C-alpha cells in the first residue's frame, strides 16, 4: 500500500476552520501498515462526545458550522477525516479501499485511541454507512444515533437513478472536481473560498483514490462483500433501544427516501418527532449546519444518559 499525505500548506486560510488538527495511528486490518488519521475537536474535554462522520467526497471541514454550536451546548464535538480524505493518510489505489477497512479504521480511532463512550453518532452519507455499522457492532459504546441524509444499503433494493449518475460521473471523470461535486450537492450557493476548502486535501489526482473508490463500495447487489454485515446491522439496529433521530434535509434526491424507512424500522426512533432540515440539499451541514446542530443538541438534552 502506497500512501500520500497532503502537505500542511494546502490547509492554510481555510474559512472558519482554524481548529488544530490532531493525529492518531490506526492499524490496517489487512496489512502490517499503520495509517495516520486526523481529527479535530471542539468543546469541553469532559463533555458528552458527539462523533461527526462525514461522507463522500468531503472531510471534517464539512462540520465547521456545527462544531461551535455543539461546543456551546457543552458537548465534545469530534470530527475525524476518513482515510483518503482531509488530513488523513491517502492510499493511492482504489483497490486499497474497502467498506470493511473503513469501518475498522474508524472503530480503531474512536475506541482504541480515543476510548470514546456514551457516544452520540452523527452520520451523513458514508458517515452513516460506516457509523451505523459501528453502532450495531459496538452498541455498548453509543448513547444515541443521529442519521442525517444517509442509509445502510444491503444490495436488496435498487439505488435511485440519480445515485447511478453520480457514480458514473465519478468513475469516468478524467479530473475529479471535488469542490464542484460538493457545490452541486448543496441547495444554497457556496463561496469560492469554501469550494477551495473542499478541494484543499486533493492537490493532485493521485490523492483522490478514496473519493473515486467510495461510490463503488456501496452495496448494489446481494453478492456484495458488505451485504451480510449490513443485513446483520439492520437486524441489530431495528431492535436496539437507544434514542435514534432522523434529521434529513428537504432537498436530497439521493437519500431522502431513506428517512421514513429508518423512522419506521428503528426501535429507538419510534414515537419521536424527527426534524426536517429546510432549504438544504445532500450536504445539509453546509447548507444549514446551524439548524442541524441545534436539533442535535436539543435531542441530546431531551434524552439524558
The number of beta carbons lying within 10 Å of the beta carbon of residue 221 is 10
Q: Which positions are catalytic?
A: 125, 252, 282
> Would you state the cell numbers that stand for residue 124, as one nine-digit string?
451523513
Q: Which of 186, 188, 194 is nearest to 283 (CA)?
A: 186
Q: How far apart are CA 252 and CA 269, in angstroms?
A: 21
Q: What Rg value do the Cα atoms of the chain yield, rounded?
A: 18
Contacts 24+ apart (CB under 8 A), 226-229: 226/99, 226/100, 226/154, 227/154, 227/155, 227/156, 229/99, 229/100, 229/133
Q: Which residue has the cell 484543499?
A: 200
Amino acid at each position: 500500500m502506497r500512501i500520500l499525505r497532503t502537505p500542511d500548506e494546502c490547509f492554510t486560510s481555510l474559512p472558519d476552520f482554524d481548529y488544530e488538527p490532531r493525529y492518531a495511528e490506526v492499524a490496517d486490518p489487512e496489512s502490517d501498515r499503520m495509517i495516520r488519521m486526523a481529527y479535530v475537536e471542539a468543546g469541553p474535554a469532559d463533555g458528552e462526545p458527539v462523533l461527526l462522520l462525514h461522507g463522500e467526497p468531503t472531510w471534517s471541514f464539512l462540520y465547521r458550522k456545527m462544531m461551535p454550536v455543539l461546543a456551546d451546548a457543552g458537548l465534545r464535538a469530534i470530527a475525524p477525516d476518513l482515510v483518503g480524505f482531509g488530513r488523513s493518510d491517502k492510499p493511492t489505489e482504489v483497490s486499497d479501499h474497502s467498506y470493511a477497512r473503513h469501518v475498522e479504521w474508524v472503530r480503531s480511532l474512536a475506541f482504541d485511541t480515543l476510548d470514546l463512550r456514551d457516544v452520540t453518532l452523527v452520520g451523513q452519507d458514508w458517515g452513516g454507512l460506516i457509523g451505523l455499522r459501528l453502532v450495531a457492532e459496538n452498541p455498548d459504546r453509543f448513547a444515541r444515533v443521529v442519521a442525517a441524509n444517509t442509509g445502510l444499503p444491503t444490495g436488496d433494493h435498487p439505488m435511485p437513478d440519480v445515485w447511478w449518475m453520480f457514480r458514473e460521473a465519478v468513475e469516468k471523470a478524467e479530473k475529479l472536481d471535488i469542490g464542484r461535486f460538493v457545490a452541486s450537492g448543496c441547495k444554497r450557493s457556496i463561496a469560492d473560498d469554501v469550494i477551495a476548502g473542499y478541494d484543499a486535501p486533493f492537490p493532485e489526482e493521485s490523492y483522490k483514490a478514496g473519493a473515486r473508490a467510495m461510490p463503488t463500495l456501496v452495496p448494489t447487489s446481494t453478492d456484495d462483500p458488505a451485504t451480510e454485515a449490513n443485513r446483520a446491522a439492520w437486524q441489530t439496529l431495528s431492535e436496539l433501544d437507544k434514542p435514534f433521530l432522523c434529521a434529513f434535509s428537504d432537498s436530497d434526491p439521493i437519500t431522502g427516501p431513506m428517512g421514513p424507512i429508518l423512522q419506521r424500522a428503528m426501535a429507538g426512533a419510534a414515537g419521536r418527532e424527527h426534524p426536517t432540515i429546510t432549504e438544504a440539499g445532500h450536504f445539509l451541514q453546509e447548507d444549514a449546519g446551524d439548524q442541524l446542530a441545534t436539533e442535535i443538541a436539543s435531542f441530546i438534552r431531551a434524552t439524558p444518559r
